[in-house]
Amino acid sequence: MNGSAASTVSTAAPAGAGDTTTGSTTDVEQLKALQRRRPFGVWFRDKGWRHLVGIAVTIFAIFPLLYVLSAAFNSTGTLVGSNALFSRIDFGNFSELFNNPARPYARWFVNTMVVGVVTSAATVFLGAMAAYAFSRMRFKGRRIGLLSLLLLQMFPQLLAVVAIFLLLSGISEVIPALGLGSQLGLIMVYLGGALGVNTYLMYGFFNTVPQSLDEAAKIDGASHSQIFFGIIMRLVTPILAVVGLLSFIGISGEFVIASVVLTDPDSQTLAVGLYSFVAQQRSENWGVFAAGAVLAAVPVMALFLFLQRYIVSGLTQGSVKG
Amino acid sequence: MTDTELRQAAGAASATDPDGSGPAGRPGGPGAGRRRFGADTTKGTVAKIVLLGLVDALAVYVLMMLFLSESWGALAVSSAVVLVINWIYLRKGGLPAKYLAPGVLFLLVFQVFVVLFSGYIAFTNYGDGHNSTKDDAIAAIQLTAQKRVPDSPAYKAAVLAKDNSFYLLFTDPQGKVSIGTTQAPLEEVSGAGKDSTGKANAVDGYRTLTFQEIVANQQSILAITVPVSADPADGTLRTADGSNAYQFKPALTYDAAADTFTDTDTGVLYRDNGKGAFAADNGETLTTGWKIEVGMDNFVRAFTDPSLRGPLLGVILWTFTFAIASVALTFAMGLFLAITFNREDLRGKKVYRILMILPYAFPAFLSGLVWSGILNPQFGWLNQTLLGGATIGWLTDPLLAKISVLVVNLWLGFPYMFLVCTGALQSLPTELDEAARMDGAGPWRVFRSIKLPLLLVSIAPLLISSFAFNFNNFNVIFMLTGGGPRFADTDRDIGATDILITLVYKVAFGQGTGRDYGLASALAIIIFIIVATVSAISFKQTKALEDVNS
């Protein structure tokens, strides 16, 4: 319907070319008249149902989030008490959350941030170096290397969780600082997955940066490190942000390996700590758990929405390139 | 900070190595005919030396520790790795290796090696009761093999706690009360509070555990052995249930020459049965064994053991159903939404989009827990508020639990498919669409015959990786249902919504039943094989799809 209206306008415009001012006003009026005249049924079949779908899906999407938000601000605290949404709003759960030494929430939060930030920064860096090598250099084993990365990334690390546990318990007998119970050990394990998907994603993006830039820099006598840090890394910021963010989200929500490696409550991450806290007595601790969940989700969601544009472009680029 | 140091060192070293100074530099470097990189700056060289020095200092420390702990195999491998790292960063040329080495090192240790190690564990009986060498097992049996002293009195017991450690409070048949724990021999106490049966259950300065707490800390309470006196030969007091206790004495003596244990009372002889344990002639084995290689035993057990076979087949079937249905549902919904909102002139499109991708931004492990609250059959919002006090077992009925898991996973996954499909739709050429319309094709026909096939070419690889991801989607299952409701026909902790990976986790690290690393690894190997096969087949299919369309 709209399409036809637009075409009327465009064909009408050259006809009234002699008198431009009046011509354009009549066009606008004509358009408005058309829209006004359009019956509801036509509008609904064209666009209205889309809004219905949009509203229905939006409710489905955000209801659980509103539910947990309401539970967080409702200091009744139990699962039953949280059912009346937004019936009362106070901060009782939050103060309770930070005032129980048996449940060091603040420590969990800091631990998650440390593990997540260190791992994702390292992942971005290791992945970018590998992608640079694959994209800009030709060497023996390059094709095989790329192929094996593609194959390896199909097998997530959590499948080998038993072997990881036994390996780390072996390490902790020699160097306790890197073994079971240490976040450093956990970060090392996570870095095993730093190549793989990330490198593949970055490799595709690196290839879109024109080689002529490198060549020009080389003529000026730039070393490969100057090209890598000074030119390539600056031009591929979007993909670095995407990989960094996706790995941060992945790491901060990782449960299996973290729960096996981090045994002491003081060293645990949010995923492990919050789970063990709520798994024991789900209904009694609900309000406090909800408060913890809201606080845990806020940074991740803020980051996600802030970098949304990059993520979407990264995802679609990844999809188009396969 | 080892890994960061290593990484930085590697990064800086690779970034600053002298390179391309000689014409014989690197045959494998940047392609023939390309211009060479410029020389390094002094600053870069200094950084490289410092960081490589730090890595080597750390390496020396690790090697010394390995030497002191006499781990010769690990020592040899580590030394070789350190040498290779130094060789890579100190030699001229070999530039690609300098950029790849740090990532590849982690990849080899924590991805490739652990997979191979899983493969090895799958062929052993590694697990609780079989987690060390035979010598360790013999020492442990001598320490722990204790037998109830015949005709010794039955004590009543209560579990107390003080400063985070547990104590047992005993009341003997005469009503004498005493307290102790593994480190503190039995000591008589007076003034203990007693319950109606005359059992002492409270002492000043200690906290009495409730039944729930006893159940929750079962393992540590069962492990308490209270020496009767300072002399170990007098034996110890133990409880098996937290309310009764008996006196135990060492019951087995080891004969090193014959490699047998003899029961001091009955004279029964326990021999090495070749399966990593000592067994008597009547088949009774001592609980502490050692690790041996058992060949295909774990795999055979998985498919023949009656308590495992049925549930395992159910789990495999459900894993496939779950993964396929999850991909199909999220893709269908994502595609539908992408088409619905693929209109430039739709008002509020941006708002819809932001609100709809919120579930994707919400941490996945929290989603499972939050939904478990909403769907909780007794207290949850869905039953209590929306359905006005119904008691539908959303998470406790086998079929409904499966549907709930799928719905929650749809909630988690549709935004991703929505984003991906939108991107792919917008990259389709519009001429095709117009040409088809000119030929008289309706919107449905255009979609089915033109847009969908083109879309599938770019999206198919993502659907395959989505399948592989959901095949191992641990978080949503474990956080929502924990795998339950449990199957009735087995005593193991396996339930209707368990997928293979949650089963692996429960078998290896679950509470209650003993840890069985061998079986868990065997199951993990099965997952490996399935995922590899499915991926190989489907990638081939995708290629065919691409050929057809191009």
| Confidence (pLDDT) at B231 | 66
| Confidence (pLDDT) at A116 | 93
pLDDT band at B35 (very low <50, low <70, confident <90, very high): low
Residue B326 shares a structural domain with residue B219: no
The shortest CB-CB distance from B103 to any of A58, A126, A167 is to A126
| A contacts of B341 (beta carbons < 8 Å) | 50, 54
**Closest CA relative to residue B404, chosen from B371, B378, B362:** B371
Query: Is A196's pLDDT higher than 50?
Result: yes
Q: Residue ranges per domain, chain A? A: 103-280
- Residue B172 counted as domain residue: yes
| Confidence (pLDDT) at A80 | 74
- Show the domain range for B190: 146-250
Min Cα distance B117 → chain A (Å) is: 6
Interface test with B, best of A63, A162, A211 (most B CBs within 10 A): A162
Q: Is B3 on the interface with A (CB under 8 A)?
A: yes
Residue B98 shares a structural domain with residue B218: no
CA distances from B197 to B156, B157, B194 (A): 10, 12, 8
Q: Is B348 on the interface with A (CB under 8 A)?
A: yes
On whether the CB atoms of residues B325 and B314 are closer than 8 A, the answer is no
Query: Is B11's pLDDT higher than 80?
Result: no
Residue B318 shares a structural domain with residue B446: yes
Strands B269-272 and B187-188: unpaired
Query: Is B230's pLDDT higher than 80?
Result: no
Give the B window 306-345 contacts with A, CB below 8 Å. Answer: 336-337, 340-341, 343, 345
Inter-chain Cβ pairs, chain A and chain B, closer than 8 A: 338
Query: Is B549's pLDDT higher than 70?
Result: no
Question: Directed axis angle between helix A286-306 and helix A237-252, to 10°?
Answer: 170
Min Cα distance B22 → chain A (Å) is: 14
On whether the CB atoms of residues A50 and A32 are closer than 8 A, the answer is no
**Closest CA relative to residue A8, chosen from A44, A43, A33, A41:** A33
Residue B155 shares a structural domain with residue B231: yes
> Which CATH number do you get for residue B353?
1.10.3720.10
pLDDT band at B447 (very low <50, low <70, confident <90, very high): confident
**Tokens encoding B348:** 């509020």
CATH 1.10.10.10 fits A103-280, yes or no: no
Supply the DSSP symbol for A91. Answer: S
**Tokens encoding B2:** 């080892």
**Closest CA relative to residue A198, chosen from A230, A158, A263, A150:** A150
- Residue B295 counted as domain residue: no
Q: A117 versus B364: which is more confidently predicted? A: A117
Which range is most confident: A57-66, A307-316, B61-70? A57-66
Min Cα distance A54 → chain B (Å) is: 6
CA distances from A222 to A172, A228, B35, B38 (A): 44, 10, 11, 5
Other C-beta atoms closer than 10 Å to the C-beta of B239 total 22
Show Cβ contacts of residue B486 under 8 Å, excluding neighbours closer than 6 positions.
B493, B494, B495, B496
| Confidence (pLDDT) at B30 | 41
Query: Is B388's pLDDT higher than 90?
Result: no
**Tokens encoding A123:** 């992942």
Q: Is B376 on the interface with A (CB under 8 A)?
A: yes
Alpha helices in B17-171 (DSSP H): 42-68, 72-90, 95-107, 114-121, 134-144
- Residue B542 counted as domain residue: yes
Q: What is the pLDDT of residues B114-126, one digit of tens each?
A: 999 999 999 988 8
**DSSP output for B303-326:** HH-HHHHHHHHHHHHHHHHHHHHH
Which among B250, B274, B289 is the end of a domain? Answer: B250
Show Cβ contacts of residue B533 under 8 Å, excluding neighbours closer than 6 positions.
none
Which range is most confident: A78-87, B34-43, B504-513? B504-513
Q: Is B474 on the interface with A (CB under 8 A)?
A: yes
**Tokens encoding B208:** 């009495």
The shortest CB-CB distance from B419 to any of A255, A296, A312 is to A312
Residue B93 shares a structural domain with residue B7: yes
Query: Is B14's pLDDT higher than 70?
Result: no
| A contacts of B533 (beta carbons < 8 Å) | none
> Which CATH number do you get for residue B159?
2.40.430.10
Query: Is A81's pLDDT higher than 80?
Result: no
Show Cβ contacts of residue B6 under 8 Å, excluding neighbours closer than 6 positions.
B55, B58, B102, B105
Interchain proximity B366–A65, CB inside 8 Å: no
Interchain proximity A320–B376, CB inside 8 Å: no
Spatial separation of the C-alpha atoms in residues A292 and A276, rounded to whole Å? 13
| A contacts of B372 (beta carbons < 8 Å) | 282
Query: Is B31's pLDDT higher than 60?
Result: no
Min Cα distance B530 → chain A (Å) is: 11
CA distances from B517 to A159, B127, B306, B523 (A): 12, 5, 19, 10
Interchain proximity B15–A225, CB inside 8 Å: yes
- Residue B257 counted as domain residue: no
Spatial separation of the C-alpha atoms in residues B31 and B39, rounded to whole Å? 18
Min Cα distance A26 → chain B (Å) is: 22
* Total number of domains in chain B: 3
**DSSP output for B268-303:** -EEEE-SSSSEE-TTS-B-S-----B-TTHHHHHHH
Interchain proximity A192–B36, CB inside 8 Å: no
Among A26-35, B5-14, B446-455, where is mean pLDDT lowest? B5-14
Residue B325 shares a structural domain with residue B228: no
pTM: 0.76
- Residue B99 counted as domain residue: yes
Residue B69 shares a structural domain with residue B154: no
> What residue type is assigned to position B343 of the chain?
R
**Closest CA relative to residue A192, chosen from A239, A150, A153:** A153
| Mean pLDDT to the nearest integer, A234-258 | 87
Which among B250, B276, B292 is the end of a domain? Answer: B250
Q: What is the pLDDT of residues B278-309, one digit of tens each?
A: 777 777 777 777 877 887 888 888 888 888 88
Interchain proximity A166–B422, CB inside 8 Å: no
Supply the DSSP symbol for B26. Answer: -
Residue B514 shares a structural domain with residue B461: yes
pLDDT band at A317 (very low <50, low <70, confident <90, very high): low
| A contacts of B71 (beta carbons < 8 Å) | 174
3-state secondary structure B43-73: HHHHHHHHHHHHHHHHHHHHHHHHHHCCCHH
Show Cβ contacts of residue B449 under 8 Å, excluding neighbours closer than 6 positions.
B436, B441
| Mean pLDDT taken over chain B | 81
| B contacts of A257 (beta carbons < 8 Å) | none
Q: Is B374 on the interface with A (CB under 8 A)?
A: yes
| Confidence (pLDDT) at B12 | 35
Q: Residue A49: what are its φ and ψ, rounded to 5°?
A: -65, -30
Which among B65, B86, B121 is the end of a domain? Answer: B121
CA A191 to chain centre: 18
Helix (H) or strand (E) holding B538: helix B517-549
Spatial separation of the C-alpha atoms in residues B499 and B495, rounded to whole Å? 9
> What residue type is assigned to position A100 of the chain?
N
| Confidence (pLDDT) at B27 | 38
| A contacts of B465 (beta carbons < 8 Å) | 154
Please give the share of chain B, as a percent, with pLDDT higher than 70. Answer: 89
| Confidence (pLDDT) at B550 | 45
Strands B200-202 and B260-263: unpaired
Other C-beta atoms closer than 10 Å to the C-beta of B258 total 10
Residue B233 shares a structural domain with residue B328: no
Interchain proximity A61–B359, CB inside 8 Å: yes
Spatial separation of the C-alpha atoms in residues A255 and A246, rounded to whole Å? 16
Find the closest chain B residue to A189 by CA distance: B110
pLDDT band at B401 (very low <50, low <70, confident <90, very high): very high
Show Cβ contacts of residue A45 under 8 Å, excluding neighbours closer than 6 positions.
none
Interchain proximity A79–B19, CB inside 8 Å: no
CA distances from A111 to A175, A231, A260, A262, A276 (A): 21, 34, 16, 11, 16
Min Cα distance A36 → chain B (Å) is: 17
Spatial separation of the C-alpha atoms in residues B532 and A210, rounded to whole Å? 35
Interchain proximity B360–A219, CB inside 8 Å: no
Residue B200 shares a structural domain with residue B109: no
Residue B183 shares a structural domain with residue B228: yes
Query: Is A12's pLDDT higher than 50?
Result: no
- Residue B31 counted as domain residue: no
Strands B165-171 and B155-162: antiparallel
| Confidence (pLDDT) at B334 | 94
- Residue B32 counted as domain residue: no
| Confidence (pLDDT) at B386 | 83
Residue B242 shares a structural domain with residue B380: no
The shortest CB-CB distance from A296 to any of B19, B363, B475 is to B363
**Tokens encoding B535:** 């991926």
* Cα torsion B378, B379, B383, B389: sign: positive
**DSSP output for B385-437:** IISSS----TTTSHHHHHHHHHHHHHHHHHHHHHHHHHHHHHTS-HHHHHHHH
Rg (CA), chain B: 32
| A contacts of B426 (beta carbons < 8 Å) | 316
Find the closest chain B residue to A52 by CA distance: B340
Q: What is the pLDDT of residues A21-58, one digit of tens each?
A: 444 556 666 666 666 666 777 877 777 888 899 999 99
CA distances from A130 to A264, B36, B97, B418 (A): 35, 20, 9, 31
